[in-house]
Amino acid sequence: MSELLRHRRIGTNWLSAASWLVLVFFVLVALVGPFLVSADPMRQSNSPLLPLGSGGHPLGTDDLGRDELARLVHGSRPLLLVAVLATTLATTIGTLIGLFAGYFGGVVDQVVMRLVDLALAFPSILLIILLVAGAGAGPATLVIGIGISLAPGLARLARALSAREAARDYVLASKLGGSQGGRIMLREILPNIAGPMLAQVIMTLSVAAGFAAGLSYLGLGIPASTPDWGNMVQAGQEFVLTTPALTVLPAAATLVFVVACNFAGDDLRDALDPKGLA
């Protein structure tokens, strides 16, 4: 992977470079933003629905007089945290399933991938609603539901990549050398499919973030008491005609993050797999 990056750098055009900068910006906002913004995102005041540029409230206030800038900054952390954890769970499950199916092939591959196809056919939103009904709404349920929903797509890619690598000479040499299947999958095949998988993981992060925001908007995710972009869009839609910033700002932040993830993933895929073998 590092060898490929030396020959083809990421961010070689303005769109991909801007996408990487946006992702870095959002990560920094989530990590250090809450420490830099002094306003309390939950503190109510007697100055509701202040417009943009108001003194002491550069992005105005919501209907309860809470500082919109503080809520945007603090709201980035739960959304990104849920998206990252859900993507990590999906990647772990999907990669292990794909490695197993691709390496062994034959009947094992057919059975496992038919189960994956069945999981792909099941509506993701319905799965998450069932989990919420059984376990209750909350970040943990959101992570598990989104992670399980996104795992089959990553499993299909991991299977295709691992099946390609399983036919290579270095895998045959490892088998002849007495290496066991688990060791070959994790130490030989996995490092060689990590590049294309990483690119897909970044794009999957955008889907996870969209799911997290959308489900919070529907009241199925992060509690309304916690500042979150999805909750903010839902709460601000009542005032969309009089104070559109309450809805537009968190919605735009979510959209920009999702789009940046997709462009960054495309750029990384082109850099790590320039021949389009993935």
Residue 97 falls inside a structural domain: yes
E-assigned strands of 64-171? none
Q: Which is nearest to 69 in space by CA: 83, 89, 54?
A: 54
Q: Tell me the per-residue pLDDT of 52-107, one tens digit each, with 9 for 90 and over.
A: 888 888 999 999 999 999 999 999 999 999 999 999 999 999 999 999 999 999 99
Residue 156 falls inside a structural domain: yes
Rounded to two decimals, the pTM is: 0.89
Residue 54 falls inside a structural domain: no
Residue 53 falls inside a structural domain: no
Residue 4 scores a pLDDT above 70: no
Instruction: Check residues 222 and 1 and name the one with the higher pLDDT.
Output: 222
Residue 100 is part of a domain; what is its CATH number? Answer: 1.10.3720.10
CB count within 10 Å of CB 203 equals 19
* Domain hosting residue 192, numbered range: 66-272
Total structural domains in the chain? 1
Residue 6 falls inside a structural domain: no
Q: Which is nearest to 214 in space by CA: 243, 256, 255, 244?
A: 255
User: What pLDDT shows up at residue 273?
Assistant: 62
User: What pLDDT shows up at residue 95?
Assistant: 96
CB count within 10 Å of CB 60 equals 20
Percentage helix, strand, coil, to 5, in the chain?
75, 0, 25
CB count within 10 Å of CB 144 equals 17
Residue 17 falls inside a structural domain: no
Residue 84 falls inside a structural domain: yes
Residue 244 falls inside a structural domain: yes
Residue 112 scores a pLDDT above 60: yes
The CA distance from 258 to 206, in Å, is 4
The stretches of 105-138 forming alpha helices (DSSP H) are 106-121, 124-135
Q: Tell me the per-residue pLDDT of 168-192, one tens digit each, with 9 for 90 and over.
A: 888 888 888 888 888 899 889 999 9
